[in-house]
Amino acid sequence: MLKQMARQPGISRLLAALGMLGLLAASVWSSPGYSQTEMTIGVLAFRGKQDALERWGPTAQYLSQSISDHSFKIVPLTLEGMLSRVEQDRLDFILTNTGNYVVLENAFGISRLATLKVRQFAADFTQFGAVIITRRGHPDLNQLEDIAGHSLMAVSEEAFGGFQMAWRELIDVGIDPFEDLQSLQFAGFPQDDIVHAVIAGEVDAGTVRSGTIERMAADGLIDIEQIRVLGSRDSKSFPFLHSTRLYPEWPFAKARKTSQELAQRVAIALLQMKPDSEAATLALSAGWTIALDYGPVHELFQELEIGPYAYLKKPELALVWREYKGWIIFSLAMVLVLVTLLVLIGRVNRRISQSELKYREEANQRKQAQELLASHKENLEVRVEERTAELAEVNTSLRRSEAALRAMHDITTDADRGFDDKLESLLSEGCRFFGMEFAMVTGATESGEGSICRVGSDAESSWQEPMRICERLRDEIKTLQQPVAIADFSAYSFQDGSRDLSGSAIGADYRVNDETAGFILYSSSNAVQRVFSDVDIDILQLMAQWLGGELERSEINLRAQEHQAHLAHVSRLNTMGEMATGIAHELNQPLTAILNYSSGSLRLLQKNGDDDTALKNAIENIGNDARRAAGIIKRLREFIKRSEHRPERFLLRDCIEPAVELLRPRLDQHQIDVDVSYAADVSDVLADRIQIEQVLVNLLLNSIDSLQHCAQASGKIMVRVDSGDKGDISIGVSDTGKGLAADVVDHLFDPFFTTKTEGMGMGLSISRSIIESHGGTIEYLVNEFQQPTFRFTLPTT
């Protein structure tokens, strides 16, 4: 074929010209200025290839300029094309919508680097939702549940913001859009057509991405008073009309083959993109922020059983068609394309002869390109110097941030420091990083009282003005309910319009148990010579998260210690009561014998006629004292029996799990696993929670002692809760130990009986007393698996 083409004069000249063009391109790209590695960025082109190139082309240029040893190229793709290229590892980076990202992440291991900050109406947003609308005059649609039996219009079944968000909300109110609607129509893009169709009454309801209604109203395309929102939600940080939960914006992700080092450089470059740069402006954004959590998207897909969770559905013919109709249509289209290509190839062969006329025009174009290239080369050095200076400034900022993060890590992970020392060091490090002279951590009180910690570069006498600045900043944070950074108070517009202070400040709230517990604030009497960036806010929030986490862990530890102390107190009381009962029982026998002997001695004296008055008085005194001692012991036993427990109704799960966690250190030390199982029909019980927990702790301790003396490296304890035969609840504690000898079993529940080298032998005796006081029973047996088992019962009422 090539030989036949070469015989044609026009073809030979074409091949020669192409060869010269190849040599020219090789010489240009082999020069030092063009020794770049090309990286491809796959972009979801949902509005067409040209729109994607115009919107994201500047971002690729920005990355090429930021990372000089690589060049970046935008590759517009459909959903199917994106899937194919990622599967074949033909992309280095991916820029796609939120739903498509989660599908690719699950299937091919791509990972997000940053999240887009969308700019709308002079504000920046990293989340978006969808709004479900109807025309205001519709007589039947007033709330989301009313859509059943009516028509709904959306973008497409695969559109995340244009259908799937609304789909989830409809499922939550019991409406299946594929079964319960009069009709479900997909109109594609633009979404404006859906809004117009709803207003015109062509459909009953429609769903579009949040912000669409406000944009159309601002452009004069609709009157927003004609719209009624169904299932409206109110989010303080999100001002647009929306009916669904909010989800993170588009992510910028790396393919699984892309090196982590290059991915980090790309992430840094994206985070440093200025909001007013050309790349950000043409992308309709304010740049990028740290990658958000896309867990809510996984939850949506799992609930709808689509995307990565489509396997949860039962395969049906209609479902297969709905799920894979794109591939089926694509395959048929490819066959048609191949047939068309065969026809076109014949036409192309006829047109080759006409292409010779165009070569001269192309030669002129190449000459112009060479002239432009020479001009570009002259300006390149100047641009490189400017970019080098910018990169030096960025690198300095990154080094400062890296040093601050390293210092924060060293402070917070130092096991030898206490909380107060860590907090003071963290505040001092923040003063150095933010360039502030004063820092303080306060509680949630309105006044300055309740401060947890304060640090400053000067004496405390000079802290009055910085503290006033911090208090003003705290009020602003409360009003905005988000972190606030003010480089110059005199140029900042407060919500209440006041400007009575000068200086600078940065601060945020910290949370304990998802509620604001206080504020971490930095201030200076002078304006700082810098602009606070998103990285500064992120570092401040890291400090606040650490502080809230430490306080939350402190509260949890305090509650655990109080609970353990309470449990130990009950154990001591039970031990004392059981010991007193046992001692009283043991002493009653010799006292009874003393009374019998004294009575017998008096009868012998009377029988023998002995009138020794002193001896009779002594014997009578012995008897009186013995009776008095017996009376004291009797009253002591009655006092012990009258002690009442404090019953409450609770689930045994809330008693068993704390007992296991209380013994967790000993379980881990001896490599013992605990398996707890509950029968499905088990109800709650009415008992003294602390006493029942004490019984469980005693039984678990016995199993641990048994297992740690076994030859096996590890053991297992089984706790099973079942319904009893008499309407009660049965709790069994078994282990994989050896079990007990028959002579030991007979005395297990006797006071002061023990087989241990240490201990008082009161645990099982106390446990039996507690269970019997609740109307239950306790016994030792060997279960069906030949395992030693302690089983006790509790009534349900």
pLDDT reported for residue 680: 78
pLDDT reported for residue 20: 43
pLDDT reported for residue 4: 38
For residue 531, with 0-12 CB atoms within 10 Å meaning exposed, 13-18 middle and 19 or more buried, which class applies?
Answer: exposed
DSSP letter at 663? Answer: T
Better-predicted residue by pLDDT, 725 or 576? 725
Among 187-196, 558-567, 788-797, the range scoring the smallest mean pLDDT is 558-567
- Concatenate the DSSP letters of all residues of 127-156 into one string: EE-EEEEEETT-SS-SSGGGGTTSEEEES-
Main-chain phi, psi angles of 416, to 5 degrees: -85, -5
Give me 372's structure tokens: 């432009």
Give me 712's structure tokens: 């096996």
Q: Per-residue confidence at 603, pLDDT binned at 50, 70, 90?
A: confident
SS3 649: strand
Q: Measure the CA–CA gap between 527 and 501, rounded to whole angstroms.
A: 11
Mean pLDDT of 745-763: 72
Better-predicted residue by pLDDT, 2 or 625? 625
pLDDT reported for residue 567: 65
Mean pLDDT of 515-525: 87
pLDDT reported for residue 317: 62
Residue 198 has pLDDT above 80, yes or no: yes
Give me 423's structure tokens: 């907090």
Q: Measure the CA–CA gap between 709 and 706, rounded to whole angstroms.
A: 6
DSSP letter at 79? Answer: H
What is the CA angle 512-518-520, rounded to 5?
A: 110
Three-state helix/strand/coil letters over 224-240:
HHHEEEECCCCECCECC
Q: Measure the CA–CA gap between 407 and 434, rounded to whole angstroms.
A: 14
Contact yes or no for 204/194 (Cβ under 8 A): no
pLDDT reported for residue 659: 87
Q: Per-residue confidence at 566, pLDDT binned at 50, 70, 90?
A: low
Q: Measure the CA–CA gap between 82 and 94, rounded to whole angstroms.
A: 8
How many beta carbons lie within 10 A of that of residue 132, not counting itself? 27
CA 381, chain centre distance (Å) = 47
Among 764, 793, 763, CA closest to 687: 793
- Give per-residue burial for 671-684: e unless 16+ CB within 10 Å, then b: ebebeeeeeeebee
pLDDT reported for residue 23: 38
Q: Measure the CA–CA gap between 258 and 256, rounded to whole angstroms.
A: 6
Name the average pLDDT for the chain: 81
Residue 132 has pLDDT above 70, yes or no: yes
Mean pLDDT of 362-376: 77
By residue count, the chain amounts to: 797
Three-state helix/strand/coil letters over 263-330:
HHHHHHHHHCCCCCCHHHHHCCEEEEEECCCCHHHHHHHHHHCCHHHHHHCCCCHHHHHHHHHHHHHH
Place of tokens 């709790």: 731
pLDDT reported for residue 766: 82
Q: Per-residue confidence at 13, pLDDT binned at 50, 70, 90?
A: very low
Of the chain, the percentage scoring pLDDT greater than 90 comes to 32
Among 98, 84, 401, 455, CA closest to 244: 98
Question: How far, CA to CA in Å, does 328 sit from each of 156, 332, 514, 662?
Answer: 17, 6, 48, 59
pLDDT reported for residue 272: 94
Q: Measure the CA–CA gap between 285 and 94, rounded to whole angstroms.
A: 17
Give me 95's structure tokens: 């820029």
pLDDT reported for residue 128: 93
Give me 128's structure tokens: 């978006």
Mean pLDDT of 431-452: 73
Contact yes or no for 527/488 (Cβ under 8 A): yes
pLDDT reported for residue 276: 92
Contact yes or no for 566/690 (Cβ under 8 A): yes
Residue 593 has pLDDT above 90, yes or no: no
Q: Measure the CA–CA gap between 774 and 645, rounded to whole angstroms.
A: 9
Residue 7 has pLDDT above 60, yes or no: no
What is the CA angle 614-620-621, rounded to 5?
A: 90
**Top-confidence range, 82-91, 361-370, 430-439:** 82-91
* H-run or E-run covering 5: helix 2-7
* H-run or E-run covering 542: helix 534-608
Place of tokens 């169904």: 230
**Top-confidence range, 108-117, 368-377, 477-486:** 108-117
Contact yes or no for 277/287 (Cβ under 8 A): yes
Q: Measure the CA–CA gap between 423 and 550, rounded to whole angstroms.
A: 10
- Concatenate the DSSP letters of all residues of 569-592 into one string: HHHHHHHHHHHHHHHHHHHHHHHH
Of the chain, the percentage scoring pLDDT greater than 70 comes to 81
Q: Per-residue confidence at 152, pLDDT binned at 50, 70, 90?
A: very high
Question: How far, CA to CA in Å, does 673 sit from each of 209, 534, 665?
Answer: 51, 46, 12
What are the beta bridge partners of residue 123? 120
Contact yes or no for 279/61 (Cβ under 8 A): yes
Q: Measure the CA–CA gap between 566 and 756, rounded to whole angstroms.
A: 26
Main-chain phi, psi angles of 414, to 5 degrees: -75, 110
Among 630, 638, 632, 637, CA closest to 591: 630
For the stretch 158-163, contacts whose Cβ atoms lie closer than 8 Å and that sit 24 or more positions apart, written own/partner, are 158/79, 158/99, 158/326, 160/97, 160/98, 160/99, 160/100, 160/247, 160/297, 161/97, 161/98, 161/128, 161/129, 161/130, 161/208, 161/209, 161/210, 161/247, 162/130, 162/191, 162/207, 162/208, 162/209, 163/207
Among 57-61, 218-222, 793-797, the range scoring the smallest mean pLDDT is 793-797
Among 12-21, 227-236, 410-419, the range scoring the smallest mean pLDDT is 12-21
Contact yes or no for 237/243 (Cβ under 8 A): no
Main-chain phi, psi angles of 730, to 5 degrees: -110, 130
Among 106-115, 254-263, 606-615, 637-646, the range scoring the smallest mean pLDDT is 637-646
Among 133, 70, 79, CA closest to 103: 79
Among 64-78, 545-559, 646-660, the range scoring the smallest mean pLDDT is 545-559
- Concatenate the DSSP letters of all residues of 157-184 into one string: TT-IIIIIHHHHHHHHTT--TTTSSSEE
What are the beta bridge partners of residue 720? 677, 732
DSSP letter at 92? Answer: S
Question: How far, CA to CA in Å, does 612 sit from each of 53, 133, 617?
Answer: 128, 114, 9
372-412 per-position pLDDT tens digit: 777 777 777 677 777 776 666 667 777 777 887 888 888 88
Mean pLDDT of 27-36: 46
Longest Cα pair distance anywhere in the chain, in angstroms?
162
pLDDT reported for residue 168: 93
Among 195-199, 508-512, 615-619, 737-741, the range scoring the smallest mean pLDDT is 615-619
The pTM for the full model equals 0.40
Main-chain phi, psi angles of 642, to 5 degrees: -80, -5
Contact yes or no for 257/520 (Cβ under 8 A): no
Question: How far, CA to CA in Å, does 642 sit from each of 15, 577, 638?
Answer: 111, 11, 6
Residue 253 has pLDDT above 80, yes or no: yes
Q: Is 271 left (phi over 0), alpha (psi -120 to 50) or beta?
A: alpha
Mean pLDDT of 15-33: 40
pLDDT reported for residue 308: 84
Place of tokens 């799992």: 302
Q: Per-residue confidence at 588, pLDDT binned at 50, 70, 90?
A: low
